[in-house]
Amino acid sequence: MNRNPLLVVGSVALDSVKTPCGEVERAVGGSAVFFSAAACNMSAVVPIGVIGEDYPMDRLQNLKECGIDLTEIKQVSGKSFFWSGEYSEDFSSRETLVTELGVFENFDPVIPPHLTDSRCLFLGNIHPTVQSNVLKQMNRPQLIVCDTMNYWISQYKEELLALLHRVDILMVNDSEIRELTGESNLLCASRIVHSWGPKAVVVKKGEHGAVFFGTDWSFAVPGLLLDGVVDPTGAGDSFAGGFLGYLSSKEIFTREHYRKAMVYGTVMGSFAVESFSIDRLETISKQSILKRVTELRNLTSFD
Amino acid sequence: MNRNPLLVVGSVALDSVKTPCGEVERAVGGSAVFFSAAACNMSAVVPIGVIGEDYPMDRLQNLKECGIDLTEIKQVSGKSFFWSGEYSEDFSSRETLVTELGVFENFDPVIPPHLTDSRCLFLGNIHPTVQSNVLKQMNRPQLIVCDTMNYWISQYKEELLALLHRVDILMVNDSEIRELTGESNLLCASRIVHSWGPKAVVVKKGEHGAVFFGTDWSFAVPGLLLDGVVDPTGAGDSFAGGFLGYLSSKEIFTREHYRKAMVYGTVMGSFAVESFSIDRLETISKQSILKRVTELRNLTSFD
């Protein structure tokens, strides 16, 4: 394992979620938490985030036992970021019921000196200006991956494009890249993103899998076939955690490593959706991860 | 190449189609035509269908030059099946403007004695009772694959279930299997179909690829990444033609053959959408087919 820890900047939230399989109240969530819980199986990881006084500290201790360094999650006075949503009967859509930013509204991440040399950085879905401010504090990491969402695309596109100029991989879902580029064909859309700076785009498509678009090669992975989906919340961030956790454990980043990173992203995303919150991610063994990698190989290989 | 010809029973239509890339008037189409044009690269194929007096006979001659035996496409007095539709700007949906069944309304396929021993049979999307009547005329083929659509599922479910009992593989798209089984999870839906008789289900998902669900194993293939989609009409039937054309060329049907058949289905579907009607399918070389098989391997293989 590479000793240089993987850095993630993002939300640390409390989620109340209702799905056809049940519901959960104020469970730990947020992009930095799902990402870390997925990545920690393969790499040391340091999440940078902010929580309020209401955050359940015992749950954070569990994360610590997973090997996640929690010292950069700062507790401040106020309420934690709270999100509440409900999924449709077939999981195909969800409705956001409540979003209370709380202390996350003024999140101004500070990268401590001992972490400015981190080799791999994930910029979770936050304001593109905040993402840029993080980059300014770093000595250029070898690999910068960033996420975003429709709100930033429609309201802060200029800031987002300025950020993308300095990012290696944009990781978004299919509707986001279509909105960002105004192009419905994913291959054509990825070429537009390449022209803005990123050397690669990863497009996440939920149950349909994900596609890596390099400038002159691509890799596609279907979703694993699951019969026990409980809660899709956090699947994308868990994918990112598996993807970067795998890469962070490698000395160099080859095409074969990127392919395998897509596989690990898919596998970690598949675990994430099998429970509410990070419950399933916390209990995975290395063996069960390898078993799903093999499953994915059996699902896709021919000849 | 296996000498026993592949049999397909389905529509032989004239299609007027408008897409963001242009439009075409009364072009040859229909499930039996797309299927045959895709399958004929790998197998002898005999389409069974009916046309009216208005069918452009010169276009049929082109099909003959592709090696398709046209003697069982019967011309009768009346008008040919006509369909007209328009696709949305991003190809994600289409609106049917006109459906005139014409001579297809009373289509009552007769299997001539020399074809009742055919080894592989594709039952295109027609009334399930007509599909059953075809089966009754056959000595049990080794491999029976059938398609259907939402209309038959909602209006003639009993007849469809009676048919499925005698079918080896159901090949439908994702919305169809969900409607048929009332189950949104594809893995769970496939198990329901297995309980009705078919030993396998192939679910087509358009740009997201396709999945083969056997009773105890699965195979998933993503869509090829295309930047030149012109008209998606007939993609599903071309997939079926590639799938069964490949299998028909094999002496036995192993798991590895089914996997490869999914690959050939995907490749033939990718050609079909690159032009209106069967224009692209008619001009494919064996080399360009093999090139796309290699592309798909490069797109999906890891380690």
Average pLDDT score over residue span B279-288? 94
Given a cut of 80, whether residue A52 has pLDDT beyond it is: yes
Average pLDDT for A53-81: 92
Residue contact B211–A219, C-beta within 8 A? no
Concatenated DSSP letters of B150-167: HHHHHH-HHHHHHHHTT-
Task: List the beta strands (DSSP E) in A79-141.
Answer: 81-87, 94-100, 120-123
pLDDT of residue B1: 43
- DSSP string across A226-291: -S-----TTHHHHHHHHHHHHHHTSSS--HHHHHHHHHHHHHHHHHHTTSSTTHHHHT--HHHHHH
- Mean pLDDT within B195-212: 97
Whether B221 and A222 lie within 8 Å, measured CB to CB: yes
By CB neighbour count within 10 A (0-12 exposed, 13-18 middle, 19+ buried), where does B214 fall? middle
Residues sharing a CB contact under 8 Å with residue B164, sequence separation 6 or more, in sequence order: B146, B170, B193, B196, B197, B198
Query: What is the 8-class DSSP label of residue B43?
Result: S
Closest Cα in chain B to A204: B208
pLDDT of residue A3: 62
Q: What is the mean pLDDT of residues B227-231?
A: 93
Looking at residues A115-134, what average pLDDT do you find?
A: 97
Residues 120-179 of B with CB under 8 A from A: 178
In this complex, the residue of B92, B219, B226 whose CB is nearest that of residue A299 is B219
**Mean pLDDT, rounded, of chain A:** 96
CA distance B284 to B282: 6
Confidence of residue A65 (pLDDT cuts 50, 70, 90): confident
Structure tokens at A48: 């940078």
Q: Measure in Å the smallest separation between the Cα of B225 and chain A Cα atoms.
A: 6
Q: What is the percentage of chain A residues whose pLDDT exceeds 90?
A: 93
Q: How confident is the model at residue A57 (pLDDT cuts 50, 70, 90)?
A: confident
Q: Are B75 and B6 in contact (CB under 8 A)?
A: no
> Which residue in chain B is spatially nearest to A212 when comparing CA positions?
B299
- Indicate the residue of A211, A227, A303 with minimum beta-carbon distance to B187: A227
pLDDT at residue B22 greater than cutoff 90: yes
A298 touches chain B (CB under 8 A): yes
Contact A61, A22 (CB under 8 A): no
Subunit contact A184:B90, Cβ cutoff 8 A: yes
Q: Which of B24-38, B55-69, B73-87, B248-262 has the lowest mean pLDDT?
A: B55-69
How far, in Å, CA of A272 to CA of A54, rounded? 24
Decide if pLDDT at A239 tops 50: yes
Q: Is the pLDDT of residue A1 over 60?
A: no
Chain B: residue nearest A219 by CA? B299
Range with the poorest average pLDDT among A61-75, A151-165, B11-25: A61-75
The tens digit of pLDDT for each residue in A181-232 reads 999 999 999 999 999 999 999 999 999 999 999 999 999 999 999 988 999 9
Grade residue B3 by pLDDT with cuts at 50, 70 and 90.
low
Res B130: pLDDT: 97
Q: Is the pLDDT of residue B2 over 70?
A: no
Across residues A101-111, what is the average pLDDT? Answer: 96
- The side-by-side arrangement of strands in the sheet containing B13-19 is B22-29, B13-19, B81-87, B94-100
- Structure token digits, residue A190: 């990825």
Q: Do A225 and B229 touch (CB under 8 A)?
A: no
Q: How far apart are CA A223 and CA A204, in angstroms?
A: 10
* Residue of B188, B220, B226 lying closest to A300 (CB–CB): B220
- For residues A23 and A14, the answer to whether their CB atoms sit within 8 Å is no
DSSP letter assigned to residue A3: S
- Report how far residue B129's alpha carbon sits from residue B109's, in angstroms, rounded to the nearest whole number: 11
